[in-house]
């Protein structure tokens, strides 16, 4: 294939994956979260908007999705006076595009074995820097929040933006260092290689238990959700960095957040929960190391999604269970506990690997 074709296929894949189901999942999540929190708190949750008033299974669910979508589309698009117009417009965009780009390196189905030649059908770009690219992109999303906050010309927004910047930079370190242990064990930053490795030895969660817990904590902080939702702490900052946003811009911000949740879940599944691997099931490969695609592949994609849903559910369950940290506690936790622990985890991993070899 020529370079042009590669780019074209890449774009088609990107659109198919991101808009075909990532956006869909994120949208559904907005409602799922409301429903889940309602049941956790002995409530019913949204159950009023039916599709054309007809009561059939999931009618209220779909009705609320549609009406929410319609609502954000037709609501007044407010721009604060004396706001920086261009940055205010750019903010949500800068926030959501990195969240999309994360999906470039996430394989949600089986690809060629490590070292084998061949195309990966369930991955947009099989980069050898894989996860590192992801971190690079993820760091960008802090700009979206901070720029939008600053451009809003509002004290609440500005404080929210500052908190976002400080918090995301702090927890990114822990997030990255905990994946380093996984890289060390599987000797690659390519997510595809890591998943194959987990199939051959054991899942990352068993090899790196401390790393998984630290990653979980840091990932929640990275997605700015309770108990780490200080950037948008509604009791203190109205709505934090997106206080001055409304209508579709507001929706884009919250969609970006939910896509981030899905992406973090995908990374966690890839690195710690065996990706598309089904326990005790071997993936059949041909002589060149390319898997033989069949019904098993479908099951593997399904299991990948299932694992993601479990992880997202866990994130939401934590978000609706735990109260918010104080800001000094947040910083203390990040720098004094999580970072040293993850460094220690690395050292111990290195020592054990040396000893085992």
| Contact by Cβ (8 Å): 303, 276 | yes
Does residue 229 sit in helix, strand or coil? Answer: coil
Rounded least distance, CB 173 to other proteins, Å: 20
Binding site for other proteins (CB under 8 A): 36, 39-44, 213, 317-318, 320-322
Rounded least distance, CB 220 to other proteins, Å: 11
Q: Which is nearer to other proteins, 128 or 317 (CB)?
A: 317
Q: Which is nearer to other proteins, 207 or 338 (CB)?
A: 338
Rounded least distance, CB 264 to other proteins, Å: 18
Rounded least distance, CB 82 to other proteins, Å: 33
Both tokens of 163, joined, read: 């908190």
Q: Which is nearer to other proteins, 318 or 331 (CB)?
A: 318
> Among 102, 183, 173, which residue's Cα sits nearest to residue 138?
102
> Among 239, 213, 189, which residue's Cα sits nearest to residue 342?
213
Q: Which is nearer to other proteins, 64 or 190 (CB)?
A: 64
DSSP string, 69-103: HHHHHHS-----TT--HHHHHHHHHHHHHHHHHGG
Q: Which is nearer to other proteins, 9 or 337 (CB)?
A: 337
Rounded least distance, CB 254 to other proteins, Å: 22
Rounded least distance, CB 163 to other proteins, Å: 22
Both tokens of 33, joined, read: 């979260």
Q: Which is nearer to other proteins, 42 or 235 (CB)?
A: 42
Rounded least distance, CB 44 to other proteins, Å: 4
Q: Which is nearer to other proteins, 200 or 317 (CB)?
A: 317
Long-range CB contact pairs, 205-209, < 8 A, 24+: 205/272, 205/273, 207/182, 208/178, 208/181, 208/182, 208/272, 208/345, 208/349
Q: Which is nearer to other proteins, 39 or 86 (CB)?
A: 39
| Contact by Cβ (8 Å): 240, 160 | yes
Phi and psi (nearest 5°) for 288? -85, 0
Give residues with Cβ within 8 angstroms of 6, minimum separation 6.
none
Rounded least distance, CB 148 to other proteins, Å: 32
> In angstroms, how far is CA 101 from the centroid of its own chain?
11
Rounded least distance, CB 171 to other proteins, Å: 16
**Cα 88 from Cα 153, distance rounded (Å):** 9
The label of the residue with tokens 């800068």 reads: 94
Give residues with Cβ within 8 angstroms of 188, minimum separation 6.
114, 130, 194, 197
Put residue 119 in one of left, alpha, beta given phi > 0 → left and psi -120 to 50 → alpha: beta
Q: Which is nearer to other proteins, 38 or 132 (CB)?
A: 38
């Amino acid at each position: 294939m020529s370079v042009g074709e590669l780019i074209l296929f890449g774009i088609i894949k990107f659109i198919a994956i991101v808009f075909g189901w990532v956006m869909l999942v994120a949208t559904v999540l907005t409602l799922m979260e409301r429903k889940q929190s309602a049941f956790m708190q002995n409530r019913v949750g949204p159950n009023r908007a039916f599709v054309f008033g007809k009561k059939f299974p999931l009618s209220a669910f779909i009705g609320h999705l549609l009406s929410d979508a319609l609502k954000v589309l037709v609501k007044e698009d407010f721009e604060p006076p004396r706001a920086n117009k261009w940055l205010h417009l750019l903010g949500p965009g800068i926030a959501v595009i990195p969240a999309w780009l994360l999906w470039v390196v996430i394989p949600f189905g089986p690809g060629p074995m490590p070292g084998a030649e061949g195309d990966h059908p369930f991955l947009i770009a099989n980069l050898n820097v894989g996860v590192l690219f992801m971190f690079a992109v993820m760091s960008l999303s802090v700009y979206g929040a901070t720029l939008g906050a600053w451009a809003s010309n509002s004290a609440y927004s500005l404080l929210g933006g500052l908190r976002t910047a400080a918090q995301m930079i702090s927890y990114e370190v822990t997030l990255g260092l905990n994946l380093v242990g996984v890289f060390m064990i599987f000797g690659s930053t390519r997510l595809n290689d890591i998943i194959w490795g987990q199939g051959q030895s054991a899942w990352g969660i068993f090899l790196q238990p401390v790393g998984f817990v630290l990653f979980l904590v840091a990932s929640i902080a990275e997605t700015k959700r309770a108990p780490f939702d200080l950037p948008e702490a509604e009791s203190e900052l109205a709505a934090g960095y997106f206080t001055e946003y409304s209508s579709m811009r507001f929706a884009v911000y919250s969609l970006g957040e939910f896509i981030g949740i899905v992406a973090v879940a995908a990374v966690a599944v890839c690195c710690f929960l065996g990706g598309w691997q089904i326990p005790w099931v071997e993936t059949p490969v041909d002589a060149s190391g390319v898997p033989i695609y069949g019904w098993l592949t479908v099951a593997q994609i399904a299991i990948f999604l299932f694992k993601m849903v479990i992880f997202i559910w866990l994130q939401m369950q934590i978000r609706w269970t735990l109260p918010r940290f104080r800001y000094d506690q947040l910083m203390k936790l990040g720098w004094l506990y999580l970072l040293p622990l993850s460094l220690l985890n690395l050292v111990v991993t290195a020592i054990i690997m040396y000893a085992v070899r």
